[in-house]
Amino acid sequence: MTKNNTSFTKDNQPATGASNKRRTVMTDALMLSLNREVEGIIDADGKPTKRLSMIADKLTEKASEGDTQAIKEVFDRTEGKAAQAIQLSGDEDSPLQIVLKQYNVKD
């Protein structure tokens, strides 16, 4: 069996440690806040409304009014972001070359 040997350079390290913990703490704090009920506002099912629902309602309301940034955000969140077009080209003197290699790996 072959070993997957992925190496990282000094400047290209995987995300671990404190920066990941900070992001998790912030994400947890935001999720707690977004899931809090808004006092005095009841939804169509008779349940207290959560902040997240209010934000989603405001976003879709702005999108339906023609706010292009809100429209983009709604589609990015529901359909996924559009793929970015990338054009590859070489110079006139040294055109782009594509080399395909096939490797056979034995167990």
Q: Whole-angstrom Cα distance, residue 53 to residue 35?
A: 9
Q: Rounded to two decimals, what is the model's pTM?
A: 0.54
Residue with tokens 């040997």: 5
Give yes or no for residue 58 having a pLDDT over 70. yes
Residues in CB range of 1: below 8 A, 6 or more apart: 107
DSSP code per residue over 66-98: T-HHHHHHHHHHHH-PPPPP------SSS----
Give yes or no for residue 6 having a pLDDT over 70. no
Confidence class of residue 93 from pLDDT cuts 50, 70 and 90? confident
Q: What angle do CA 42, 43, 44 make, to 5 degrees?
A: 125
pLDDT one-digit tens code per residue, 14-46 = 555 555 666 788 888 999 999 999 988 888 888
**Which segments within 59-102 are labelled E, that is strand?**
none
pLDDT value at position 16? 57
